[in-house]
């Protein structure tokens, strides 16, 4: 029997996965969620991003957009409209982490691919596959990057 019964979970205010709920569901454990930061939405796209979107459209190259959260996808949709770039969505193919996230991304995209399982590795492999780039599974990890 393990002596560990107390867990601390430092997290963002808004989190896509509730570790507290998952741990508490598996037995008698005390899980403290400690809010350590809150993600803030940006108010506008920077000029470099706007130019990258426009140049992708002008060269008739489709852009692959990886959406790891519904909130990010919805806000990206909003920012495109805010900068009069909504029409550019027709050249963008989304790779989305979940059906829920896909639903929050709005309409007008060229294609939306929802990955089979919410893993960063699957998302990256799908993106590389769509781009025609050979990928070796051992080069991509689901471990946090930081």
Range with the lowest mean pLDDT among 6-10, 57-61, 74-78, 82-86?
Answer: 57-61
Pairs from 110-116 (Cβ < 8 Å, separation ≥ 24): 110/62
Percent of the chain with pLDDT over 70: 81
In angstroms, the Cα distances linking 55 to 1, 25, 38, 112, 133 are: 60, 49, 33, 21, 21
pTM of this structure: 0.72
**Two tokens, residue 67:** 């959406």
What is the tens place of the pLDDT at every residue in 23-46? 777 666 678 888 887 888 889 999
* Alpha-helical segments (H) within the chain: 19-24, 47-58, 70-82, 99-104, 120-130
**What residue spans define the domains of the chain?**
6-37, 47-139
Q: What confidence tier does 73 reach under pLDDT thresholds 50, 70, 90?
A: very high
């Amino acid at each position: 029997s393990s002596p560990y019964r107390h867990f601390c979970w430092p997290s963002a205010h808004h989190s896509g996965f509730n570790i507290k709920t998952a741990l508490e569901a598996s037995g008698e454990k005390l899980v403290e969620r400690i809010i350590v930061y809150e993600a803030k939405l940006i108010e506008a796209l920077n000029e470099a991003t706007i130019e990258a979107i426009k140049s992708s459209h002008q060269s008739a190259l489709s852009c692959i957009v990886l959406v790891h959260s519904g909130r990010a996808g919805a806000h990206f949709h909003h920012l495109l409209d805010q900068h009069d770039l909504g029409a550019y969505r027709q050249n963008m193919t989304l790779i989305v982490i979940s059906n829920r996230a896909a639903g929050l991304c709005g309409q007008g995209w060229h294609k939306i691919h929802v990955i089979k399982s919410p893993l960063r590795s699957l998302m990256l492999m799908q993106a590389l596959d769509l781009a025609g780039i050979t990928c070796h599974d051992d080069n991509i990890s689901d471990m946090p990057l930081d």
